[in-house]
Amino acid sequence: MRTFRGKGAPAGPSHLQWRVEEEAEGACLADYLARQMLLDGEDARDLIDFGSVQIGGRQERDPGRRLSSGQEIRVYRPWGGTRRFYDIDPARILFRDRTLFAYDKEPGIPSQQTPSDAYNNLFAAVIRHVSKEGGKAPYVALHHRLDRETSGVMVFTLDRSANRRLGDAFQRHEVKKEYLAWVQGRPESDEWIGSEDIGRKDGRYCTCPRGRGKSAETLFRVLHRDADRSLVSAMPLTGRTHQIRLHLAAAGFPVLGDRLYSGRPAGRLYLHALRLRLAHPADGSELTLTAPVPADWPPPRPEP
């Protein structure tokens, strides 16, 4: 495993930043970073290839890029090093044809690249997997995302001609989503709708009164109640960031393991994208994609 030790310690900022000096005009990006960060050339090139470097706010993967005076360079620190550890598990592929690729995402894996890591994410792993089939560079499009700690169904298009049709279906909320969540507490109602708007405050997502943020609705159904927790089904009618987690927290039943929104500590975030129902973008046939309940989920306790 290769790590990098730039100037500063892990307690410092999430990224390093420079403005290219006049005397560095025309310098090679890898050479410039090696000097600034006290790295050897190989480590600087590896950091660039890993996706941790941005020029002017855009990721730069070319170590030979020539720099211009005044450009802003950022390096987002991959504290675990540039270790390439993630590839998809073929056993978790839920569906595959010439048009669609569906996968049961593991918890702890980002849906797409992060500022410090363009390798260890599901989108990049799907591209690598499809590339192994040979031929020209594959076309893979991402239409929706799951939070890093959320597991379950994700679907990608593999055919450019189907891309717009599936994108439009997500935009019009024609793709029906169902999640499972273990939550704290025992809701009295068997069914309710979370309808608080979703907004941002102090850099974080939050619920707010209707009309004060982006409209959001989630249908919840209680499937099982234990003494201090409940298993619920969540069907988002809109697609806002952290919508299910926020609506459950606002109702007083945060997801177990959701420390961001006051959930009780647990071994993981107990939120799972169980099912997607959609019209196949190639022929319009109804398609249901289901990710099995994770093996590490606690079973409901028997009724007393």
The pLDDT, as a whole number, for residue 229 is: 96
Q: Is pLDDT of 136 > 50? A: yes
Question: Tell me: the pLDDT tens digits for 150-162?
Answer: 999 999 999 998 9
- Residue by residue, DSSP assigns 156-201 as EE--HHHHHHHHHHHHTT-SEEEEEEEEES--SSSEEEE--EEEEE
Is the pLDDT score of 171 beyond 50? yes
Tell me whether residue 146 is in a domain. yes
* Domain endpoint, select from 47, 76, 105: 76
In a domain, 304, yes or no: no
- Catalytic residue check, 147: yes
Q: How many domains does the chain have?
A: 2
Residue 98 placed within a domain: yes
Work out the number of other CB atoms within 10 angstroms of the CB of residue 66. Answer: 11
In terms of DSSP bridges, do strands 176-184 and 271-279 run parallel, antiparallel, or are they unpaired?
antiparallel
Q: For residue 10, is it within any domain?
A: no
Mean pLDDT, rounded, for 171-191? 96
d(CA 45, CA 129): 24
Residue 302 domain-assigned?
no
Q: Is the pTM of this model over 0.95?
A: no
Residues 71, 114 within the same domain: no
User: What is the chain's mean pLDDT, rounded?
Assistant: 92
Residues 268, 240 share a domain: yes
Instruction: Clarify whether residues 94 and 72 are in a common domain.
Output: no
| Active-site residue identified among 43, 46, 117, 147 | 147
Residue 233 lies in a domain: yes
Could you tell me the pLDDT band of residue 134, with boundaries at 50, 70 and 90? Answer: confident
| Contact yes or no for 251/187 (Cβ under 8 A) | yes
Does the residue 156 lie in any domain?
A: yes
CATH number for the domain that contains residue 61: 3.10.290.10
Has residue 270 been placed in a domain? Answer: yes
Quick check: 7 pLDDT over 90? no
Residue 303's pLDDT is what?
63
The pLDDT assigned to 9 comes to 35
**71 and 117, same domain (yes or no):** no
- Please indicate, yes or no, whether residues 186 and 247 belong to a single structural domain of this protein: yes
Same domain, 180 and 32: no
Quick check: 112 pLDDT over 70? yes
Instruction: Please tell me the least confidently modeled range out of 15-24, 141-150, 175-184, 295-304.
Output: 295-304
Question: Among candidates 220, 217, 197, which has minimal Cα distance to 207?
Answer: 197
The residue segments making up the domain with residue 35 are 15-76
| 210 and 103 part of one domain | yes
Question: What is the average pLDDT across 13-40?
Answer: 93
Q: Do 255 and 135 share a domain, yes or no?
A: yes
CATH code assigned at 139: 3.30.2350.10
User: In this predicted model, what pLDDT tens digit does every residue of 39-89 receive, in sequence order?
Assistant: 999 999 999 999 999 999 999 999 999 999 999 999 998 988 999 999 999
Kindly state whether residues 100 and 153 are assigned to the same domain. yes
- Of 76, 99, 119, the position where a domain reaches its end is 76
Mean pLDDT of 235-247: 96
- Residues near 26 by beta carbon (within 8 Å), at least 6 away in sequence: 66, 67, 68
Same domain, 64 and 23: yes
Q: What is the dihedral of CA 105, 112, 218, 280, to 10 degrees?
A: -70
Beta strands in the chain (DSSP E): 15-19, 53-55, 58-59, 72-76, 93-96, 100-105, 141-142, 151-157, 176-184, 191-194, 197-201, 204-208, 218-225, 229-236, 271-279, 286-290
**Are residues 44 and 164 part of one domain?**
no
Residues 152 and 38 in one domain: no
